[in-house]
Chain A
Amino acid sequence: MMGNPASTDRDWVTLLSDNSRTGGWREGSWQVPKGVRWQFRAGRAILSAPVLRDKLLYVAEIHGAVYALDADTGRSRWTRQFPNWIHSTPSISGNSLLFGCDGGKVYSLARDTGKTIWESATRGEVWSSPVVRDETVFFGSADGRFYALEHKTGKPRWTQNIGGRISASAYAAEKHVYFGCGDGKVYALDASSGRIEWSTPTGDGIDSTPAVVDDLVLVGSEDFFFYALDAGTGAVRWKFETKLGVSSSPAASKDVVFFGSKDKNIYALDIRTGKLRWKTFAGSAITSPLVISGPVVAVNAQGPVLCLDTVSGQVLWRAGLGGGLQSAPVLAGGRIYLASENGMVYALE
């Protein structure tokens, strides 16, 4: 059982919606937003993605402030200021909100009050989003280590020395944890012990968070390729070449995986074969994660947010509200929540 599933289609509890890291894919319809329901000025750049649960939207801005906003009104319920920068997308599990800081700490806050439950230190920036499964918090750090902590207390369960800088978030499956590393390898660790089960090299560093669909680990690399690896062995099942690095995290539906490349295209590939279904020119290098809601896939294209038809790749709608590069939109409850590089948070519906 996953540790932090989105409880309803109105929740979006971690990067790419939930622990499946599939980018929010659900069956259903989608409607073009008619306007801005509310906007909130955080004041500083927001590079991480918001998360949502029980009508509270949580946003972390770069200079260390964390906000809990009423998802209906945009009013702040509570705010906490932390001493270090925050690149990490928060993650929700139970009543706790987890995120990392550039100072090397990972925090667990009470979701309703913002009070600190525990904090744990590493020796490098934690840009990745913590993922929770079976009462264990998993994350990598720029100190080259991968950590597993006890969810309730923050006490270490195990640590694995990887060696390369880890900035991408992990995918936690039942028995294994998968992640990409700055040393160019994709790793699978035993979730209970941290033992390295396999590692598969790519040609350059990895900044993309993997998605796992059935027995395939789907992830992009700076070596220009997008990979599908066998989840059990790490063997390359197929790989697809783009014209530049792939740091965007993929979104996956039942049989199609979507991702962006710095070559400015958004790609849709058949998950089983790696064959191209469509590609759409976005006009800007794509580095932020893609998300899916019903029949549309959405991405922040360095300013405008694009929504494309999942079947044809046709651009259905675009909004030019902000410029966050790392921030991914949240599509939940019939709304789109956006956080921008100029410090604004928007709710569209």
Chain B
Amino acid sequence: MTREQDPTVGQTETLVVEAREAQRHRKVGQLERVGDHLKREWQLYVMLIPTILWLLVFLYKPMYGLQIAFKDYSIFRGVAGSPWIGLEHFQTLFGNDQFIRALKNTIIISFYGLIFGFPMPIILALMFNEILVQTFKKTAQTIVYLPHFVSSVIIAGIVITAFSPSAGIVNTFLGWFGMESIYFLTKPEWFRPIFVGTGIWQEAGFQSIVYLAAIAGVSPTLYESAVVDGASRWQMMWKITVPSILPTIIIMLIIRIGNMLEVSFEMIILLYQPATYSTADVVNTFIYRQGIQGGQYDLAAAAGLFNAVVAFVLVMTANTISKRYSRTSLW
């Protein structure tokens, strides 16, 4: 059958042309809609400008400098003038024992933080929610929120003093039971528990606000209905409160996973010392030492980029899993 004889040939082409035309019209329609929206809501977009500027200046513009991770960077030649060297810095990093150790420490500390630190604000929020005496509740909340507002330097000072072998409260307490003083902050095996514990003490209370807000959003009639049905407070907590705040928990978990490699850099700098590097040195402190103190900006940029890529992959994975299994996701 020739082309002229087959009527479907022409029909297919016509359909394709029509579909393209329709698509073009749809795009024009979408653009018109966006334009209309911009005209109608221009005040909101004006308010958005400072945030966009902030993002551009502080988060997107510095990305230009990321290229030094693939260059033999020299401050005299500048970012553009430095020669490309491909993945050499990444090869150096993965051949560097200190980086591997820092990566391992970062993962372990983050994992501890996730296991022990992530549930703590949820537990605190659930506990606050169960306190019926308002004065006691407010006092308890103030006490646990307070460390968040104290400078990390002061928190580190308190921790160093508390764990001091001579006058620290912890060693004094151990002394009452006839135990010998331990210089906790020089023992590599104690660093991670102390660091994770300090982080929980400093931030758990403040982080619980998010969960308290989520709990406040649960309709009181759900509880009243459960009371009439015969539920105890414990059952109401597990069968109503926790499932109701689960979407918030998942969102916070995804964000937390995205920040897993961003362990509290300044607190580690304040608490660690060469004696505890084996368990305390993390990627960020490695970057700080190599980049700022050692002047190896290109190697530090490579380490930082690696950190960011891993965080991106982690957050994407967590989001996809959450979307598939719990219908809750960041986007």
Are A and B associated in one complex? no
Residues of B participating in the A interface, judged by any CB pair closer than 8 Å: none
Residues of A participating in the B interface, judged by any CB pair closer than 8 Å: none
